Amino acid sequence: MTITPPIPLKKPKQIEQFGHIRIDNYAWMKDENWQKVLHDPSLLQSDIAEYLKAENQYTEAMMNGTKALQNDLFEAMKSRLAPEDSSPPQEDGTWLYASRFEKDLQYRIYFRISRETNKEEILLDINARARQFDYYQLGAIEHSPDHRLLAYAEDTQGSEIWRISIKDLATGKILPQYISDCNGDFTFSGDSQYLFWVYRDENGRPTKIYRRNIATGQDKLVYLEQNPGFFLSIQRSLSNNWLYITAKDHDTSEIWVIPAAQPTLYPICITKREKGVIYEVTDWDNHFIIKTNIDRSCNFKLMRVAIPSVDALTKQPGILNRERWQEWIPYDSETYLIEMIAYQNYLVRLERNNVNTRIQIIDKQGKVQLVTGDEESYVISLDSILDPETDWLYYSYQSPTTPRQWWKYHMKTGEKKLIKAQQIPSGHDPDQFCTKRLLAPASDGQLIPITVTYHKDTPLDGSSPLLLYGYGSYGHAIDPNFSIINLNYLKRGWIYAIAHIRGGSEKGWNWFLSGRKFEKINSFMDFIECAEYLLSHQYTRAGRIVADGRSAGGMVMGAITNMRPDLFAAIIAVVPFVDVLNTMSDETLPLTPPEWPEWGNPIQDMLAYTYIASYSPYDNIAKKAYPAILAVGGLTDPRVTYWEPAKWIAKLRENNFSRKPQLLKINMDSGHAGTAGRFDSLKEAAFIQAFACWAIETNF
Conformation bin of residue 677: beta by default, left when phi > 0, alpha when psi is -120 to 50: left
Phi, psi of 37 (to 5 degrees): -65, -35
Q: Are 687 and 486 in contact (CB under 8 A)?
A: no
Q: How many residues in total does the chain contain?
A: 700
Q: Can you spell out the DSSP letters for 517-556? A: GGGTHHHHHHHHHHHHHHHHTTS--TTSEEEEEETHHHHH
DSSP 102: P
Strand 162-168, strand 179-188: pairing:
antiparallel
User: CA–CA separation, 269 vs 259, rounded Å?
Assistant: 12
Q: What is the pLDDT of residue 1?
A: 47
Tell me if 380 sits within 8 A of 525, measured CB to CB.
no
Spans in the chain with pLDDT lower than 70:
1-2, 699-700
User: What torsion, rounded to 10 degrees, do the Cα atoms 618, 620, 623, 625 define?
Assistant: -80
Q: What is the pTM of this model?
A: 0.97
Q: Catalytic amino acids?
A: 551, 637, 672
b/e 459-469 (16+ beta carbons within 10 angstroms → b): eeebebbbbbb
Beta bridge partners of 23: 14
* Beta bridge pairs of residue 672: none
Torsion of CA 494, 500, 503, 505, to 10 degrees: 140
The 3-state secondary structure of 135-179, one letter per residue: CCEEEEEEECCCCCEEEEEEECCCCCCEEEEEEECCCCCECCCCE
* DSSP assignment letter at 27: G
Contacts of 352 (CB under 8 A, 6+ apart): 335, 336, 338, 358, 477, 505, 506, 508
Q: Where are the domains of the chain?
A: 13-78+435-697, 336-423
CB 548 within 8 A of CB 539: no
Give the CATH fold of the 13-78+435-697 domain.
Rossmann fold (3.40.50)
Sign of CA dihedral 636, 639, 643, 647: negative
pLDDT value at residue 241: 96
What pLDDT score does 699 carry? 65
Report yes or no: 558 and 652 within 8 Å, Cβ to Cβ.
Answer: no
Q: Give the separation between CA 108 and CA 131, rounded to whole angstroms.
A: 13
- H/E/C letters for each residue in 596-618? HHHHCCCCCCHHHHHHHHHHCHH
